């Protein structure tokens, strides 16, 4: 398929219980005052020396106990300094938390409370639409429409009034357009996406970006009307290049063309692995899946090259597998060797 598929599976299936527990612990361990003093106090307890990025670069929360941070701590304990230095490039950056189907309210609350305590914004991804990924590497999703609505309700309750930025359902609209999702599921999917946008944007401090594919899949003319049917008018904007590798320059061009067709909506770009652009060898159908020779892209920031681009984000968590291809583990599992190569190539 078109590259963005492995995006969600990566983190949707990851073992988030440890990270969530850390988030809950982090949320409760600070008693310091507001602003930077609070941040400094919290940073003293950050695992593997992981601290928050400066607010003037971007508002997003760094999870001090994510997969990269855990590997970093293990490498430093083993005195593997060179490898640790590479993984630190990933561990010290804010990356998305993909909300799993089990206990979504507790996960959303844990991540947003931890972020809020650190004076930052949680970056969340919802990837649980029924008939997700057409049953392929990232297949799954909610059992039916009611289960999905309950999932979104739980996430909304967990977020509450705390700051959050939500990337909504990678590939969900794209797969309505490219023929991957059977016709009989289209009407329900549009309804579910529209309902999710309405529910989440009603929250006081939550921004929502509906996923809109990538620069390599097709033409903006093919997707702008489906985005409107899915409720893009109520969203804060759309996301592009999620879990994909297209350059930031190409992603900006694609996003600007699409923005012009959806009433000037702003957008965000996943730059997590686009440092060397897309892979152009091997089977075209699996160039998106764990391609070799890729590199980390621009670090997350709200200081972008275009006023229509609200942020560069690491939506895909670098170092997590796209699926069982090219020697990779299951989608969403941490792959230390691939993480090392991504980081080393970004020098």
Residue positions annotated with a catalytic role: 133, 171, 322
The answer for residues whose C-beta is within 8 angstroms of residue 105's C-beta and 6 or more apart is: 154, 155, 157, 158
Q: Give the separation between CA 315 and CA 300, rounded to whole angstroms.
A: 9
326 — phi, psi (to 5°)?
50, 35
Give bridge partners of residue 125 from the DSSP assignment: 98, 167
* Pair 173, 122: CB distance under 8 Å: no
C-alpha dist (Å) from residue 84 to 48, 92, 293: 10, 12, 20
The answer for residues whose C-beta is within 8 angstroms of residue 171's C-beta and 6 or more apart is: 4, 5, 7, 8, 132, 133, 211, 213, 242
160 C-beta neighbours (distance < 10 Å), count: 17
Angle, in degrees to the nearest 10, between helices 81-91 and 67-77: 160
268 — phi, psi (to 5°)?
-125, 155
Q: Give the separation between CA 79 and CA 203, rounded to whole angstroms.
A: 46
């Amino acid at each position: 398929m078109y590259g963005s598929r492995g995006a969600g599976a990566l983190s949707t299936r990851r073992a988030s219980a440890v990270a969530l527990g850390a988030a809950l612990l982090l949320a409760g361990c600070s008693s310091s005052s507001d602003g930077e003093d609070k941040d400094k106090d919290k940073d003293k307890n950050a695992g593997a020396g992981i601290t928050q990025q400066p607010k003037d670069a971007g508002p997003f929360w760094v999870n001090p106990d994510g997969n990269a941070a855990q590997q970093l701590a293990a490498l430093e304990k083993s005195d593997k300094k060179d490898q640790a230095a590479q993984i630190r490039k990933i561990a010290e950056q804010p990356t998305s938390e993909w909300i799993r189907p089990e206990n979504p309210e507790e996960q959303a609350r844990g991540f947003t409370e931890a972020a809020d305590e650190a004076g930052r914004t949680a970056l969340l991804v919802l990837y649980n639409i029924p008939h997700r990924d057409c049953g392929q590497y990232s297949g799954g999703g909610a059992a039916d429409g009611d289960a999905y609505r309950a999932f979104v309700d739980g996430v909304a309750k967990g977020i509450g009034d705390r700051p959050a930025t939500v990337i909504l359902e990678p590939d969900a609209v794209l797969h309505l357009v490219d023929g991957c999702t059977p016709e009989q599921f289209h009407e329900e999917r549009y309804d579910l996406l529209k309902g999710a946008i309405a529910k989440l944007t009603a929250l006081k401090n939550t921004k929502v970006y509906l996923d809109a594919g990538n620069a390599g899949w097709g033409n903006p003319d093919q997707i702008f009307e489906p985005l409107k049917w899915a409720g893009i008018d109520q969203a804060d904007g759309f996301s592009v290049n999620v879990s994909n590798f297209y350059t930031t320059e190409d992603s900006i061009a694609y996003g600007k063309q699409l923005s012009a067709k959806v009433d000037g909506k702003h957008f965000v770009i996943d730059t997590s692995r686009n440092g060397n652009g897309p892979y152009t060898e091997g089977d075209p159908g699996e160039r998106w899946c764990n391609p070799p020779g890729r590199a980390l892209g621009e670090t997350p920031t709200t200081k972008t090259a275009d006023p229509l681009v609200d942020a560069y984000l690491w939506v895909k968590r670098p170092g997590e597998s796209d699926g069982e291809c090219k020697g990779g583990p299951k989608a969403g599992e941490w792959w230390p060797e691939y993480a090392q190569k991504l980081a080393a190539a970004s020098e």
